[in-house]
Amino acid sequence: MRDFKIYISIGIALLLVYVVAQYNKPNPTSWDTTLQYNDKIPFGTYILYNRLNDIFPAATVTRTNRSAYRVFNDSTMVPGNYLITAKAVNFSKTDYAAMVKFISRGNSVLISTFDMSDALADTLKLSISNEFGKHSPFLNFTSRKVNKDLDYQFDKHIADQYFSKFDTAKAVVLGRNEYGNSNFIRYRYGKGNLFLFANPQLLTNYSLLKPMGADYASKVLSYLPANVSHVYWDQFQNHDIAVNTSPMRVFFEYAALRWAYYIALAGMLLFVIYEVKRRQRIIPIVDPLTNSTLEFVNVVGKVYYEQRDNANIASKKIVYFSEHLRNTFGIKAGTFQREFVDQLASKTGIDDQFADELVRYINYLLPQSKVTDQELITLNQLIEKFHKQSGS
């Protein structure tokens, strides 16, 4: 009996050591690109957001979580700089018109993103592409006041994006990469300016923790007026705020409803306990589901919709698309590299520009562990457009 107690004590001690070790084990670093202001992971923007007053010392920093149309038409909005740092910017034509009106009054807007909605891209006549090199291209500014003798160099391909098309008659180029492609441009509207920056990862924690990255980001922001009274940080385009859509949130917002919920829950628990002691509940007979293809598809679709695992859905759609290319056109889509774009366009008959856009978007989604509803919709639209153009 004594030996048994010793073994029990040793087992409990080992269990406690294991629990403490697991509790203190550091979490693995997440390399997801969130661009969210409160994320301290490498590709969050915690440092940028919290150091804005170093660049705009007299400004009050305000976060907004409304559409551009509502924000820019708000009568209480005061002049200042408006910053949008997001993976994708989804502007409607009314959003764009409201933004231009805000800029024309002497304000500045900086949009830093990988992708733009068709309404915004078509209005500005621009598109964003990626360089396909072994390293991120070197960057520099066009102005002698801010450019360096030695170009800026970055790793992890965070400087690959550039504007492959834009209206050169209206846009002024502020920055280029080593291949002469523009990554930083400006549009003039009335008394203000719209700045477009194609490398949002250069504004993240990972880049700002390095002297060269911090210097480059500060010079990008230096193009905005420094003596403003307000700086607005847009959360709407990047979905920075997690909204609780559960109906139960109403019960927990008010003390009276919260206590009523707890009392009802306790009452039901007591009722179940006493009823179980008295009798066993009759198990209802459930008819098996009809094994039809249509109902099966509906059930699977509802499961995916309720789980909202967009990244898994996007991955499966890309795999099915690759199988379609192999079976229909004899194209082996093991990797979506640069040479794959020419092969895709020549064998399927689709436009070269659309082939580049489709491959670029697939490459953007493949490493993502989180995919938004809008990104999944965009992927589906691109694949549907491919089927129409290729006739497959």
Residue 253 lies in a domain: no
90 or 317, higher pLDDT: 90
Task: Give the pLDDT confidence score for residue 28 in this predicted structure.
Answer: 85
Domain end among 206, 234, 262: 234
- State the average pLDDT over residues 201-218: 97
56-60, 88-92, 225-229, 243-247: segment of lowest average pLDDT: 243-247
Residue 15 lies in a domain: no
73 and 170, same domain (yes or no): yes
221 and 113, same domain (yes or no): yes
Q: Is 1 helix (H, G, I), strand (E, B) or coil?
A: coil
Task: Give the pLDDT confidence score for residue 340 in this predicted structure.
Answer: 77
225 and 372, same domain (yes or no): no
Residue 107 lies in a domain: yes
212 and 334, same domain (yes or no): no
Domain end among 207, 234, 261: 234
Domain total of the chain: 2
Residue 344 lies in a domain: yes
For residues 128 and 346, what is the distance between their CA atoms, to the nearest angstrom? 22
For residues 98 and 77, what is the distance between their CA atoms, to the nearest angstrom? 13
Residue 149 lies in a domain: yes
199 and 64, same domain (yes or no): yes
Residue 244 lies in a domain: no
207 and 75, same domain (yes or no): yes
Task: Give the pLDDT confidence score for residue 321 in this predicted structure.
Answer: 84
351 or 207, higher pLDDT: 207
- State the average pLDDT over residues 76-99: 96
- State the average pLDDT over residues 189-213: 97
For residues 205 and 35, what is the distance between their CA atoms, to the nearest angstrom? 9
Domain end among 202, 234, 266: 234
**CATH number of 170's domain:** 3.40.50
208 and 322, same domain (yes or no): no
DSSP letter assigned to residue 202: G
Domain extent at residue 379: 305-390
Predicted TM-score (pTM) of this structure = 0.58
For residues 40 and 46, what is the distance between their CA atoms, to the nearest angstrom? 6
Residue 354 lies in a domain: yes
Task: Give the pLDDT confidence score for residue 260 in this predicted structure.
Answer: 79
218 or 265, higher pLDDT: 218
75 and 179, same domain (yes or no): yes
123 and 212, same domain (yes or no): yes
Question: Which is nearest to 108 in space by CA: 204, 215, 227, 238?
Answer: 227
Residue 362 lies in a domain: yes
Residue 282 scores a pLDDT above 80: no
Residue 156 scores a pLDDT above 90: yes
**Mean pLDDT, the chain, integer:** 85
- Tens digit of pLDDT for each residue in 286-315? 776 665 665 665 665 666 666 668 888 888
